[in-house]
Amino acid sequence: MTPDRPAANDPEEPDAPDTPSAAANLEIWAEPAECWPPPSAVLSADVRCLVVTFGIMGTVAATTAGVILLYHSAPQLALAEVVLGLAAIILIALGGYRRER
């Protein structure tokens, strides 16, 4: 005990806070929350459909962003972006369908 650092639970000072020393350890405990559902696996039969769906959704998002960025500066490039996006969506859909057979 030093004059600038009182001891924890000092009987002379009942309201003295516990001040950590240089050798103090901080322990943190974490447990999974019970409100979340347990992780689940995707069935192998549904994986291809999931990949095709997210591929199409990603292509739609990228095409939309490209059109928004290009529309004011170069409308012809925005139209080309739409055509390219539609072609990519068709190829993703046909590729996913062909592999299911």
- Per-residue pLDDT of the chain in tens (101 residues, 90 and over written 9): 555 655 555 556 555 566 777 777 888 888 766 766 667 777 777 888 888 899 999 999 999 999 999 998 999 999 999 999 999 999 998 887 765 55
**pLDDT at res. 88:** 94
Map out the domains of the chain as residue ranges.
44-100
Region at 65 (left for phi over 0; alpha for psi -120 to 50; beta for the rest): alpha
**pLDDT at res. 59:** 95
**pLDDT at res. 6:** 55
Longest CA span, the chain: 83
Using CA of residue 61, residue 65, residue 68, residue 71, what is the dihedral sign?
negative
**CA–CA dist 52, 72 (Å, integer):** 31
**CA–CA dist 91, 39 (Å, integer):** 32
**CA–CA dist 45, 78 (Å, integer):** 37
**pLDDT at res. 19:** 73
